[in-house]
Amino acid sequence: MDNLKVLDLFAGGGGFSTGFLAAKHSNINYELAGALEVDPDACLTLISHHGEDKVIDGDITDPIKKEEVIKRCSNVDVIIGGPPCQTFSLAGPARSGKKEIREKLREDPRNMLYSHFFDLVGKIKPSFVVFENVEGMASKKAESTDLSNKQRAVIDLVCEDLKDLGYNTEVTPTVETGLAAEYQVLNSADYGVPQYRRRIIIIANRIGIANPIPEKTHGDGRRPHLTVKDAIGHLPVRLPKINPHGIPHLKNMNVILDNYKKSLKLFKDAINETVKEDPAFNSFLKWFNRECRRLSTVKENHFDELKKFFLIYNMKLEEVEQTFIDLPSSTSHTSRMHNFRDIIIFILTKPGSNSARFINKNRKEDYSKLLSDLYPYARDKHKDTYVKHSWDKPSYTILAHMEKDGLKFIHPEQPRTYTPYEASLIQSFPGDFTFSGGRNAQYRQIGNAVPPKMAEAIGNSILNALHENNTDLLINETYERV
């Protein structure tokens, strides 16, 4: 059997296709026929890994671009993709905020991008379709187009669209329930990804075989789930730069002033503990400890003194970073800049805890008066703004929101949030996988990606199903596209 050709729609930085290309069964592999993506930075990432001839740069809603996709990828066997559906997300802004914002999000045209996905499926007619989306899609309602004029679950409409195109969406009945279903909810941690990430997966085919369930490799009596430490515990230390500007206007900085010496000591001790075994920081530490001692004796103009200190701290840190040769230069294992208030919050928060706990007096094991006083956000809305991960568990879901801030992704030991490189490893990208664009563009690509290890399990399940059904001929030749 020849390689199976894959078309990746909404390809992003290439997580889905990276996983499929890693899948294989006997002598059968996948081959990328094309990847459609609209984001320029993600396109550059795809080009760097697959070549310019495989990447189609453009908007799926553009009829001209659709025709280009059909022309270049008319004989693919599998179409994969996860159309962005912003308000379906359980963590999305549609669940909070002002009413007008929620209504605007509900009307967001991006929520209908999946219809363009199926338009291409209907015209190309691949043998398999793999559709990925956030778990919130299962509870999202949409106005029905039939005469009943009732709301229907979006996921039901998606499955009906596939069936109307001639695809079987039914999943083989599971041993656990004995029931058939039309979609699956997979947790990436069960497939060797060091991250809890639940996603809806629809595997559908038009060649008359049962749709497979990807076989779990971790958890529930199998190999233990991989942890944050498994993913990034081996990486060299990175310290954060500190924003020296606007210190007097930073919310709750009066709490820092009221606890000035304590805050300085917390910062000094945390930095020393973080880099004590790294000789690259020896010279930096001598200067740092001397300056911290001096600052602790300052009686007035604290904000001005802190600003001058942070400016020099950042320059000293840049000098250290110039000596880093421990990773390929193309990787982005440097911390984003943080403000001093947040760094104190990072230090004081216990691994595995979050701001919803440390502001709650009833959570005695987590509550901290200093942390509660420092917390700068409205307590009647987003109480879990800060989340500190722990070494001994999988990470929480990596999100594209990391491009805006990383406060839900505080490193277990180091006083900062995850670097792009750490986020990519937690997403299960290969260690030598590189992303184009600046730091925020990289966070966006990484957070939006399908974890490659989970994608690989999905790809393998299709190959195994073909093998078990003795489908020995190239499927796009065996089943006429009618």
Active site residues: 85
Q: The tokens of 146 are what?
A: 């039939």
**8-state DSSP, 365:** T
Identify each DSSP E strand in 91-243 by its residue range: 128-134, 141-143, 151-153, 184-187, 198-205
Cα separation, 81 vs 333, in Å, equals 28
Is 256 in a helix, a strand, or coil? helix
What is the distance between the terminal CA atoms of the chain, rounded to a whole angstrom? 22
CA 449 distance to own-chain centroid: 6
Burial of 82 (0-12, 13-18, 19+ CB in 10 A): buried
Residues 6+ away with beta carbon under 8 Å from 346 = 338, 386, 388, 410, 411, 415, 416, 417
Taking the alpha carbons of 337, 343, 345, 349 in that order, is the dihedral positive or negative? Answer: positive
Cα separation, 402 vs 419, in Å, equals 10
Specify the DSSP element, H or E, that contains 78: strand 78-81
Q: The tokens of 67 are what?
A: 């025709």
CA 360 distance to own-chain centroid: 29
